[in-house]
Structure 1
């Protein structure tokens, strides 16, 4: 499901892992937490999760959220 150049970004003093999802790999609809609108299948976007989650990487990945790329950039 995940692909592209994973990176770490800071938002509000928190480190976040940002994983680009290509349009070809975007298979399911998601609700963007930035605008509350739908990210439809076939739309490139980013998956985001805490990079410093206390309970470990697996738990952090389970808590990931899918954002429109634009919405994530303007947070």
Structure 2
């Protein structure tokens, strides 16, 4: 959990909700994830963003468990 909350994490407001946004570098991207923005894989070795609610009512652990990996472009243009 601490690994995800460290570094260049920032908070953004989208769709009236607060989101934690954590960049993942090419070197840190070692697994494939499904991007919720476009439905395609975020391939290993591709820099991207991990996002999770910053204002969830179930607490930090539940919000982190529901985190999603987005292509940077998809997050920028996406709507929640």
Q: Same fold (TM over 0.5)?
A: yes
> What CA distance in whole angstroms lies between the structure 2 residues aligned with 1:30 and 1:41?
8
1:32 paired to 2:67: no
TM-score normalised to structure 2 length: 0.88
1:21 paired to 2:24: yes
For residues 4-61 of structure 1, what are the alpha-carbon distances to aligned partners after superposition, in whole Å with 9 as ceiling and x for unaligned? 4100001110100000000000010001000001110000000000000111111100
Match of 1:8 in 2: 11
Q: Which blocks of at least 5 consecutive residues in structure 2 are unaligned?
A: none
Query: What is the aligned residue count?
Result: 75
1:71 paired to 2:69: no
TM-score normalised to structure 1 length: 0.94
Detail structure 1 runs of 4+ shifted over 6 Å in the superposition.
Answer: none
3-state SS in 1 of match to 2:20: strand
Q: Which blocks of at least 5 consecutive residues in structure 1 are unaligned?
A: none
